[in-house]
Amino acid sequence: METRLEIVVRSTEIDVNGHVNNAKYLEYLEWGREEWYEQAELFYDTFGAMGIQTVTVNININYKKECKQGDDLTITCRPEKMGRSSYVLKQEIINKQGDLCADALVTSVTMDSATRKSVEAPEALRKHFS
């Protein structure tokens, strides 16, 4: 399952160079992941009820093309790889002309909320990666 979130670049997201700052791309990616978790019916409370939290441990992002105020962007998110407790989501930021502005691999870990140790990812999450 791949999700696609449509956003518009806003004035306060532009830096002194007239384009979206590198840190703001990570906010866009997070918004795109929220969309994925929501459509996967993996809400914060869903994990909470299992005594699990997910924690982002690595983000590896390639910046390909600048984005400017008013740009219509699509933020994609899809499952890439599942380990025992860690999993990778693949994301892209694409503009209206179809140019790839950035792509990223985001690695997260499922953690026991109480002990804060990594635990095996639950089936509810795992099934999206098969």
- Catalogue the active-site residues: 15
Measured from the CB atom, the residue of 15 and 127 that comes closer to its own copies is 15
Q: In 65-90, which positions are buried (b, 16+ CB within 10 angstroms) versus exposed (e)? A: eebeeebebbbbbebeebeebbbbbe
CB contact at 8 A, 104 and 29: yes
The conformation of residue 120, written as its DSSP 8-state character, comes to P
Q: Residue 33 Cβ, how far from its own copies at the closest point, in Å? A: 9
Q: Residue 59 Cβ, how far from its own copies at the closest point, in Å? A: 5
Measured from the CB atom, the residue of 10 and 96 that comes closer to its own copies is 10
Q: Which residues would be at the binding site for its own copies (CB under 8 A)?
A: 10-12, 14-16, 18, 21-24, 26-27, 30-31, 34, 55-63, 69
72, amino acid identity: D
Q: Residue 127 Cβ, how far from its own copies at the closest point, in Å? A: 24
Measured from the CB atom, the residue of 23 and 123 that comes closer to its own copies is 23
